Amino acid sequence: MRGLNMLSTGQIVRTAPVSHQLPPAARGTALRAQAFTPPTRFAVLDSLGTLCRFTKNEMLFAQGDEAKSAYKILSGAVRLLLVTGDGRRQIIGFRLPGDVLALDCEGVCTMTAEAVGSVTAVRCSRARIDRSIAERPQVREQLSRMLWQEVRDLQRHLVVLGCQTAMERVASFLAQLARRSGARDGSAVEIHVSRKDIADYLGLTLETVSRTLSELRRRGVIDFPKSREVLIKSLDRLRELTADAS
Amino acid sequence: MRGLNMLSTGQIVRTAPVSHQLPPAARGTALRAQAFTPPTRFAVLDSLGTLCRFTKNEMLFAQGDEAKSAYKILSGAVRLLLVTGDGRRQIIGFRLPGDVLALDCEGVCTMTAEAVGSVTAVRCSRARIDRSIAERPQVREQLSRMLWQEVRDLQRHLVVLGCQTAMERVASFLAQLARRSGARDGSAVEIHVSRKDIADYLGLTLETVSRTLSELRRRGVIDFPKSREVLIKSLDRLRELTADAS
DNA sequence: CGCCCAGTTGAGACATCTCAAGGCGCGTGG
DNA sequence: CCACGCGCCTTGAGATGTCTCAACTGGGCG
């Protein structure tokens, strides 16, 4: 989770290859700088892929699909999730502009990816990527680094789900949001996802998330100037609540 | 989690390089075949490393340590865990003979590894492994496959911690144990870890794990002929309880 | 033989879930 | 421009699953 920008109102040229330049909607926001670090993560994708769009709640790919493409998000947000036999869903993570999807599996997609709102992305066939990987050692290096990062994120998430209270989970989520958007005390951070998504990410119910956010507002740690936006009033007090891994 | 064998009583030659042969203690058990599939996973390690031993609860490495070595387990079991600032611990997974450790991070260890009982392993410097990876594309391929597998396991674990009941969690754990040891109805499977470890793995308390296991025995799904051993009486009924991802 | 550690079991506390009602913002159509 | 409906969020009250604290048991090992 990181800055984010779901407006994507600027017109986008629908030709490939796509330039490294950020989409117009990504510029001119307070969160821009952090939202695209590193600015050209896994840059091969940009030059090999073609541009595509997804509408709200549209699936990019589903659990069990053949993994024939990878994606790099240009604008919007994507949720990654697993669904159990009886319909319970667990959100594994969110992906934001600059992030790469579907390079963390082999043959078959292990999870489902859905657009949270409107999404623009670069799509590229795995075959082309594999060729590029075979040719350039540094691309392999990038892939490994991405996978290490993902393992690390998943491990941290495991701690959240395995041994934190509702308050700690919500605080962790907000702290993550704040950190990735480079927020300070007084910064407003847009929340791109619904309460239900936050709940499914944190292993809680939507009501518990809502109550916990209200409690944080009552304590003066955060505020909600608008819906879908959080005002960080005290980052320190937020961090105190997270019970971070040492 | 997979078969397992913590006896490791056979004498082991303490010289390097180590042969691909399994330690004596690993032979002659009903669980052998499954416990070492594939038999020579990431075989480079065997030829490059030196043999080492660890005693019960000894740390192989800790969160924050410089990741200068990788390990391949020959006998015994290792638990991987993260500890929060206030001492809560979350077990990320267990590693058994044939499994490789510490290739899933960069620079600094993201987690702690502890010997559950006596452990013998091959240790090899990351530098040598990196060299081997640079030279042989197939080794790089193996590394990617290992990382994909780890990502997949972590994702599944996330579902367990995020949206399963105590009964489902315990059943998942047992089903995992049974599957990896190739158990059928009537098979006895050794449990190498304590109730506390199971609890920390499943995000429960030790008491809840104990109660749930007792409930499963009452229902006739499993039995405990000895402590630290589970008799699978009905694999089907166990699987019904797991609420697997679809 | 007896200690000690790991596991079991019980009873009450508590966090979170479930079910239900109400409110707010927003787009749509009159 | 307002009324309405709809989706999303908030809040309440009671149900419940898991945790906490505590006592007891059994097996292994000195």
Quick: pLDDT tens for A1-48.
Answer: 333 333 333 333 333 344 444 444 433 333 333 444 455 678 788 888
Question: Which 190-209 positions of A have CB less than 7 A from strand D?
Answer: 194-196, 206-207, 209
Question: Per-residue pLDDT for B52 more than 80?
Answer: yes
pLDDT value, residue A245: 72
3-state secondary structure of A201: helix
User: Encoding tokens for residue A51?
Assistant: 């541009």
- Answer yes or no: do B151 and A89 touch at CB < 8 A: no
Q: For A101-150, how does the pLDDT look when each residue is reduced to its tens digit (9 = 90+)? A: 999 898 999 999 999 999 999 999 999 998 988 888 888 888 999 999 99
pLDDT for res A227: 80
Whether the pLDDT of residue B151 is over 60: the answer is yes
Residue-wise pLDDT tens digits, B181-228: 999 999 999 999 999 999 999 999 999 999 999 999 999 999 999 888
Of A63, A82, A163, the CB nearest to B90: A163
The dihedral region occupied by A213, where left means phi > 0, alpha psi between -120 and 50, and beta the remainder, is alpha
Please report which confidence band the pLDDT of residue B163 belongs to, taking 50, 70 and 90 as the band edges.
Answer: very high
Measure, in angstroms, how far nucleotide C30 C1' is from residue B128 CA. Answer: 76
Give A224's contacts (C-beta < 8 A, 6+ positions apart).
A213, A217, A230, A231
CA distances from A56 to A8, A116, A199 (A): 12, 6, 19
Residues of chain B with Cβ-Cβ distance to A202 below 8 Å are: 162
Secondary structure class of A160 (helix, strand, coil)? helix
Structure tokens at A241: 């609540």
- Cross-strand partners of A84: B245
Which protein residues have their Cβ less than 7 angstroms from some atom of strand C?
A 165-167, 203-205, 207-208, 226-227; B 194-196, 206-207, 209-211, 213-214, 224, 227-228
Q: Nearest chain A Cα to B63, which residue?
A: A246
CB contact under 8 A, A90 and B162: yes
Return the pLDDT at A46: 81
Sheet containing A188-190: give its strands across: A188-190, A229-232, A222-223
Query: Are B246 and A144 in contact (CB < 8 Å)?
Result: no
Mean pLDDT along residues A148-163: 97
Q: Which of B86, B148, B244 sits opposite A106 (nearest CB)?
A: B148
Q: Which residue of B has its CA nearest to A80?
A: B155
The two three-digit tokens of residue A195, written as one number: 């309460």
CB contact under 8 A, A84 and B246: yes
On chain B, the residues whose CB falls within 8 A of the CB of A145 are: 106
In residues, how long is chain B? 246
Tokens of A115: 């657009």
Position A88 scores a pLDDT of 94
Per-residue pLDDT band for B141 (boundaries 50, 70, 90) equals confident
Strand (E) or helix (H) holding B231: strand B229-232
- pLDDT of res. A135: 86
Chain length of chain A:
246
Per the omega criterion (within 30 degrees of 0), is the bond before B17 cis?
A: yes
Beta strand residue intervals within chain A, DSSP E = 50-54, 59-61, 69-75, 78-83, 89-95, 100-101, 112-115, 119-125, 188-190, 222-223, 229-232
What span, in angstroms and rounded, lies between the C-alpha atoms of A205 and B103?
36
Residue B54 scores a pLDDT above 90: yes
H or E element that contains B215: helix B206-218
pLDDT at B83 over 90: yes
| Cα–Cα distances in angstroms (integers) from residue B204 to residues A2, A113, B167, B168, in the given order | 31, 29, 11, 12
Tell me what pLDDT residue A15 has. Answer: 34
On whether the pTM is more than 0.95, the answer is: no
pLDDT bin (cut points 50, 70, 90) of residue B45 is confident
Among A158, A167, A200, most B C-beta atoms within 10 A, so best to mutate, is A158
User: What pLDDT, on a 0 to 100 scale, did the predictor assign at position A29?
Assistant: 36
Residue range A156-166: mean pLDDT, rounded: 98
Q: Strand C: which positions are within 7 A of a protein CB?
A: 6-11, 15-20, 25-26
Strand partners, B223: B231
pLDDT of residue B40: 66
